[in-house]
Amino acid sequence: MRVLAILAPLAIGALVAGGAMAQQPKAKAAAPRDWSTYVVQAPSGAYVIGNPAAKVRLVEYLSYTCGHCAEFMAESKAPLKDGYVRRGAVRIEVRHAVRDPLDMAAALLARCAGPRGFASATDAIFAQQGDWARRGTAWWQVNAAALQSETRLMQLKAAAEGSGLATLMRSRGMSDATINQCFATPTDLNRLTAMADASWKVIKGTPTFVINGKTGGGGHWDTLEPELRAAGAR
């Protein structure tokens, strides 16, 4: 009887402890990774956005002064970057196909934002293209001749200011010191020039898309998406 008297409280305690453990809330599942924030720079200098193990690899040849590119970026942002890329299904490599000085100035500024800021800077530049491209074209026509004695970097910096591109970047938090640094050395200018030369050897216009090594997609989101899905994007 004494043994039972001793064991009874222990058994009750075990039941209470077991009940307490059963009532503990389950740990929440980890949130899926946002792959749209994973950005690295390829050896060529191109920025690559998304899951390195993505089933679909999309190369975008883009120009910041290309109207069709701006339309594509507006159409595709929600389903492509905020959808397929975020989920890790598609990885994007942006290759610059520079067409003119304003395009080069925009590219230098976007790349100055670094890996973390490149994608959002690119979105902002395309979203405001109608404003800065119009202003920049008019400004360049008036001032190009007077800039001939300046270095190419100084010409591009002046174009960035005259077009309003620099102001756009300031509104996004880019400092004057950073903007000055964008045009301080020829390193990225030379890299962009080489990238553009290589791009125009394989494309005829912008935007151009390459899906898993095969050119396709047309020039619009509604023609590109079916090919992304056929390649395995979900």
pLDDT tens-digit readout, 109-167: 999 999 999 999 999 999 999 999 999 999 999 999 999 999 999 999 999 999 999 99
Task: Tell me: pLDDT of 23 over 60.
Answer: no
**Furthest-apart CA pair in the chain: how many Å?**
109
Q: Is residue 124 part of a domain?
A: yes
pLDDT in the model for residue 52: 97
Quote the domain boundaries for residue 49.
36-230
Cα 56 to the chain's mean position, in Å? 16
Express each pLDDT in 152-193 by its tens digit. Answer: 999 999 999 999 999 999 999 999 999 999 999 999 999 999
Mean pLDDT of 190-199: 97
**CATH number assigned to the domain comprising residue 64:** 3.40.30.10
Task: Count the domains in the chain.
Answer: 1
Taking alpha carbons only, the member of 108, 139, 110 closest to residue 126 is 110
Nearest Cα residue to 100 out of 66, 150, 72, 58:
66
Structural domain contains residue 40: yes
Which of the four pLDDT bands, split at 50, 70 and 90, describes residue 31? confident
Percent of the chain with pLDDT over 90: 86
Q: State the burial class of residue 74 (Cβ atoms within 10 Å of its Cβ: 0-12, 13-18, 19+).
A: middle
> What pTM, to 2 d.p., does this model score?
0.86
| Position 20 in a domain | no
Q: How far apart are CA 57 and CA 55, in angstroms?
A: 7
